[in-house]
């Protein structure tokens, strides 16, 4: 997968070439390019923002630099992702869908956002998604891109060592992961649930399923409604 990020703060995206992602890049599983939007400005001050039409607080990012940057960076048909608090929710399902894409381009907005015509114009050349990683407002899209790139790239085959540890993540089956434990069996008066030491693999699997259902019912009732009927019935018994 090819990933390109357009931003006025390229240094903010430095973590993308470190740790897990760094290894994946080194192994050729993903290639990442981070580009300074100001490369495509046309004035001596390298201006990227201007006052909003219709008045109102703050500044809006100008369409012109974005148009030139996207023409230069975006492969034909590549999915353009624009992080915004006004976007559709970014979920594990969205991450899984994007993980099959050959290329993704992320446009990091700052100020009050990007002139809407950029997304409208970009949609003429390929898919565009305006997405939110949560109901809070950040200073710009860069943090959201770090989150989304991590969520997507860890799903690429070969990036995460133990394939199982991806398959059983929280949200992978619509449920939250239950509690995890490791040695010692007793720690400061807190003991590991005995079933986990029993060697009864069927019993352990049942216990873990129940813990996931219980935690999901208690912490994320909004997710319970989306469960299949069998899980829904089981979760409802546990609230
Ligand atoms: N859903 C998280 C999120 C994503 C982007 C932004 C944002 C804020 C200002 C300018 C441009 C984007 N805020 C929150």
From residue 109, how far is each of 45, 76, 116, 170, 220 by CA, in Å? 19, 22, 11, 29, 30
pLDDT digits (tens, 9 = 90+) for 157-202: 988 876 656 776 777 788 999 999 999 999 999 999 999 999 999 9
* Ligand 1 pocket member 84 (CB < 6 A): yes
Average pLDDT value for the chain: 93
Sign of the CA dihedral with 22 first, then 25, 29, and 33 last: positive
Q: Where are the alpha helices (DSSP H) in the chain?
A: 19-26, 63-73, 92-98, 116-122, 142-153, 164-167, 201-219, 221-224, 229-238
Least confident of 62-66, 188-192, 227-231, 233-237: 233-237
pTM for the full predicted model: 0.92
Rounded to the nearest whole angstrom, what is the distance from the C-alpha of residue 124 to the centroid of ligand 1?
24
Residue identifier of the C-alpha nearest atom 1 of ligand 1:
132
Does the beta carbon of 8 sit less than 6 angstroms from any atom of ligand 1? no
Beta bridge partners of 129: 81
Question: What proportion of the chain, given as a percentage, has pLDDT over 90?
Answer: 79
- Residue 85 annotated as catalytic: yes
> Is-catalytic flag, 169?
yes
Tell me: ipTM over 0.95: no
Cα(125) to centroid(ligand 1), Å: 24
Q: Of 141, 147, 149, 151, which is best to mutate to test ligand 1, by the most ligand atoms within 8 angstroms of its C-beta?
A: 141
Return the half-sphere exposure (C-beta side, CA atoms, 13 A cut-off) of residue 105.
Answer: 24
What integer pLDDT is reported at residue 233 of this predicted model? 76
Q: Which residue CA neighbors atom 7 of ligand 1 most closely? A: 140
CA 238, CA 73: separation in Å to the nearest integer?
A: 51
Polymer length in residues for the chain: 239
Distances (CA, A) of 103 to 17, 124, 149: 17, 17, 12
């Amino acid at each position: 997968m090819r990933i390109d990020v357009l931003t006025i703060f390229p240094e903010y995206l430095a973590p993308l070439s470190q740790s897990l992602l760094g290894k994946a890049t080194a192994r050729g599983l993903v290639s990442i390019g981070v580009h300074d939007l100001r490369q495509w400005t046309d004035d001596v001050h390298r201006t990227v923002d201007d006052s909003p039409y219709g008045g109102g607080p703050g500044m809006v990012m100008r369409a012109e630099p974005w148009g030139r940057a996207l023409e230069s960076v975006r492969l034909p048909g590549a999915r353009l992702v624009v992080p915004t608090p006004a976007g559709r929710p970014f979920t594990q399902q969205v991450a899984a869908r994007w993980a099959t894409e050959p290329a993704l381009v992320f446009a990091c907005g700052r100020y009050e956002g990007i002139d809407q015509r950029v997304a409208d114009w970009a949609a003429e050349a390929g898919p565009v998604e305006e997405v939110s990683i949560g109901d809070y407002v950040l200073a710009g899209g860069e943090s959201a891109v770090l989150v989304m790139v991590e969520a997507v790239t860890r799903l690429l085959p070969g990036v995460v060592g133990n394939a199982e540890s991806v398959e059983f993540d929280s949200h992978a089956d619509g449920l939250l992961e239950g509690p995890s434990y490791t040695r010692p069996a007793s720690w400061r008066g807190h003991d590991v649930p005995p079933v986990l030491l029993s060697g009864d693999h069927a019993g352990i699997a049942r216990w873990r399923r129940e813990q996931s259902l219980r935690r999901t019912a208690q912490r994320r009732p909004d997710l319970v409604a989306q469960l299949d009927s069998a899980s829904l019935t089981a979760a409802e018994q546990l609230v």
